Chain A
Amino acid sequence: MYAKSISKPKPEINLSCFSFLFSEIFQYLSKNDKEKDIEQSLIDFANPIGERVLELAMYREKTKGKRYTNIVDVLHFIRGPVWKLLFGKMAEDLQQSSEDEDVYFIKDLCPITNKYTCTRDSINCAAFIAGIIEGVLCSIDFPAKVVPHFAEDDDEFTDSTLFQIKFTKGALEYEARYSGDS
Chain B
Amino acid sequence: MHFAIFIINSHGSLVYDNTALSDKIKIKSNDALRLAGTFHTMHSISSQITPESAEEEKFIAGTHLRDGIQTIESDSFKLHCYQVLTGIKFLLVSDVSTPETEMHHMLAEVYQIYGDFVSKNPFYEQDMPIRMTKFDKAIEKLFMPSYY
Question: Which A residues have a C-beta under 8 Å from some C-beta of B?
Answer: 16, 19-20, 22-24, 26-27, 30, 116-120, 125, 157
Contact = CB atoms under 8 A, between A and B. Distances in A.
B119 A117 contact: no
B120 A19 contact: yes
A121 to B, nearest CB: 9
Contacts of A30: 122
Interface in B77-132: 116-117, 119-123, 132
B133 A118 contact: yes
Nearest to A125: B122
15 contacts: A16-B120, A20-B120, A23-B120, A24-B122, A27-B122, A116-B116, A116-B120, A116-B121, A116-B134, A117-B120, A117-B123, A118-B133, A125-B122, A157-B134, A157-B137
- Which 8 A/B pairs are nearest by Cβ-Cβ distance? A26-B122, A19-B120, A116-B120, A118-B132, A23-B122, A118-B134, A120-B123, A117-B121
Contacts of A125: 122
Nearest to A19: B120
A16 B117 CA distance: 11
Interface SS majority for chain B: helix
Interface of B: 116-117, 119-123, 132-135, 137
A67 to B, nearest CB: 38
Contacts of A24: 122
A118 B135 contact: yes
A31 B133 CA distance: 24
Contact of B121 (A16, A118, A157): A118
Given A117-B123, A118-B117, 4 more contacts: A116-B116, A116-B120, A116-B121, A157-B133
B148 to A, nearest CB: 13
Contacts of B121: 23, 116-118
A20 to B, nearest CB: 6
Contacts of B122: 22-24, 26-27, 30, 117, 125
A20 B120 CA distance: 5
Nearest to A159: B134
Nearest to A18: B120
A118 B134 CA distance: 6
Contacts of A119: 123
Contacts of A16: 120
B64 to A, nearest CB: 27
Contacts of B135: 118
